[in-house]
Amino acid sequence: MTVQTSSDRKLKQVTDYIGADTMTAQVDSVLDRMRDPYPTRLAKPLDTLWLERQEGVVRGSVDEGPLSQAQLDEFERKGFLFEPGFISGEELDELRRQLSELLNCDDFRGRDFSITEPDSQEIRSLFAVHYLSERFATLASDERLVGRVRQILGGDAYVHQSRINYKPGFEGKGFSWHSDFETWHAEDGMPAMHAVSASIVLTDNHEFNGPLMLIPGSHRVFVPCLGETPGDHHRQSLKRQEFGVPGREALRELVTRHGIEAPKGAAGGLLLFDCNTLHGSNANMSPDPRSNVFFVYNRGDNACVEPFAARRRRPNFLAHSPDEPWAPEG
């Protein structure tokens, strides 16, 4: 006698719906969503504030890279690690010159990969910078970065996204609290939490120019968000995010448990943080600009599939595929 399991019944429902002749790839896609451990962009809240993380955090060992056991333990515990003085001297000066050249390039203004402040034409974010700049491409593949990433992720990775973030003095707006993974899962189709961000600060970060704030320990839970993803959501969210923002009750509880930290310091510091660590920033109220170059590394076996909570994937300047080149159109 053959016993039909619930998985068998789900498979039959799916194949009946889409037709056997096209089932192979589509069944895998549909079933992935049926067992998605990180549902988000929901019509109504779940009966819990958050869901437990399914993946490990640090998956390499102290013998596999430059980070010490104490540093790996801190990343495991907090979901981020700040290393002051990662880059200095002429190397830092060169990166800052390259930053200025990119931000002042008239050819980039008005392009889809160049995001301006909501109330001005000041560039807020410039994406795909490791394709726009040979210098930043070299930095993205630098073993000092890649070795740390490999050590945390436990395997080789590719650049899922790169960008420059810039907050001009007095005018730079803040970023709402969010988990990057929630967006990448919902809108890019990143399956699991096997990604880490590397942010190198290129101007001094202090408490008055809108430094990045993180909730330590928040990487261990996933906070589902409410509201169906609008079409072409990236056009709005990159200026002011309204969907993919965690609820205040969950934020209040996580901050009560873990607090908030804002790594600050001189230009040249490196911030590594887990893809699911909740973070945000205030507006820049000072005359001092704040800028950083930002590389997202995704483990090679975690390449994006179809989005889990959007009608279609975002443009590839926001979500690169492994070994797929990108160049600006036009």
pLDDT tens digits, one per residue of 116-168:
766 667 778 899 999 999 999 999 999 999 999 999 999 999 999 999 998 88
Rounded mean pLDDT of 38-49? Answer: 96
Neighbouring CB atoms inside 10 A of 107's CB total 10
CA distances from 247 to 38, 230, 233, 244, 252 (A): 16, 18, 19, 9, 9
Q: What percent of the chain has pLDDT over 70?
A: 84
Phi/psi at 120 (5° precision): -155, 180
Q: Which amino acid is at 26?
A: Q
Answer whether residue 6 shows pLDDT above 50. Answer: no
Report the predicted TM-score, pTM, of the whole model to 2 decimal places: 0.87
Is 274 within 8 Å of 164 (Cβ atoms)?
Answer: no
Q: 185: closest CA among 295, 28, 306, 272?
A: 306
Answer whether residue 14 shows pLDDT above 60. Answer: no
Answer whether residue 187 shows pLDDT above 70. Answer: yes
Task: Give the pLDDT of residue 65.
Answer: 93
**Tokens found for residue 132:** 């726009």
Task: Give the pLDDT of residue 330.
Answer: 55
Answer whether residue 21 shows pLDDT above 80. Answer: no
Q: What is the average pLDDT score of the chain?
A: 87
Burial (0-12, 13-18, 19+ Cβ within 10 Å), 74: middle
Answer whether residue 175 shows pLDDT above 70. Answer: yes
Least confident of 116-125, 212-221, 245-254, 275-284: 116-125
Task: Give the pLDDT of residue 241.
Answer: 55
Task: Give the pLDDT of residue 9.
Answer: 39
Q: Is 248 helix (H, G, I), strand (E, B) or coil?
A: helix
Phi/psi at 198 (5° precision): -120, 115
Rounded mean pLDDT of 197-215? Answer: 95
Q: Name all contacts of 146-150 with Cβ < 8 Å and 24+ positions apart.
A: 146/297, 147/65, 147/66, 148/65, 148/66, 148/67, 148/198, 148/272, 149/196, 149/198, 149/272, 149/297, 150/60, 150/64, 150/65
Describe the strand order of the beta sheet including 290-299 as a list of residue ranges: 80-83, 270-274, 195-201, 290-299, 157-167, 123-127, 114-116
Is 299 within 8 Å of 155 (Cβ atoms)?
Answer: yes
Q: 183: closest CA among 155, 124, 223, 130?
A: 223
Task: Give the pLDDT of residue 13.
Answer: 41
Q: 164: closest CA among 141, 185, 139, 189?
A: 139
Nearest-angstrom CA–CA distance, 37 and 127: 29
Task: Give the pLDDT of residue 8.
Answer: 42
Rounded mean pLDDT of 290-296? Answer: 95
Phi/psi at 102 (5° precision): -70, -45
Residue 159: enclosing H or E segment and its boundaries? Answer: strand 157-167
Answer whether residue 24 shows pLDDT above 80. Answer: no
Residues in the chain: 330
Is 293 within 8 Å of 269 (Cβ atoms)?
Answer: no
Q: Give the model's confidence band at 320: pLDDT under 50 very low, under 70 low, under 90 confident, else very high.
A: very high
Task: Give the pLDDT of residue 33.
Answer: 53
Answer whether residue 52 shows pLDDT above 80. Answer: yes
Is 269 within 8 Å of 154 (Cβ atoms)?
Answer: no
